């Protein structure tokens, strides 16, 4: 099974707050791949809103996204695009 890793920087003003974490978790749940976000010594499954909030990731922080499974590449691209699009927020 493929394993992909990519670092990405949070660019939206509010960081990985409740609405952004919910969007990410819903998107991650659409894929069969197992996706984990790592920031410093903390990590969380991308499909867990509470886990994502526990990362306390703010604007300018870099996270590593690790995706494993048959559609890992599609999951990685989708989640990275969501972060780059500032979670579809105006700020």
17 is catalytic: yes
Of the listed 15, 17, 43, 59, which one is catalytic? 17
The pLDDT value given to residue 91:
55
pLDDT for 17-49, tens place per residue? 999 999 999 999 999 999 999 999 999 999 999
- The domain limits of the chain are 3-88
> In CATH, which superfamily holds the domain spanning 3-88?
HPr-like (3.30.1340.10)
Sign of CA dihedral 4, 17, 89, 14: negative
Q: What percent of the chain has pLDDT over 90?
A: 93
How far is residue 37 from each of residues 4, 90, 91, measured CA to CA in Å? 12, 24, 22
pLDDT for residue 75 is more than 90: yes
The model's pTM? 0.92
pLDDT for residue 82 is more than 70: yes
pLDDT for residue 90 is more than 80: no
């Amino acid at each position: 099974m493929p394993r992909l890793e990519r670092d990405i920087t949070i660019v939206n003003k509010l960081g990985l707050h409740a609405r952004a974490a919910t969007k990410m978790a819903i998107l991650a749940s659409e894929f069969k791949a197992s996706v984990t976000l790592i920031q410093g010594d903390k990590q969380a499954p991308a499909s867990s809103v509470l886990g994502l909030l526990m990362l306390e990731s703010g604007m300018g922080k870099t996270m590593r996204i690790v995706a494993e499974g048959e559609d890992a590449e599609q999951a990685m691209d989708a989640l990275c695009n969501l972060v780059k699009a500032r979670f579809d927020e105006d700020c």
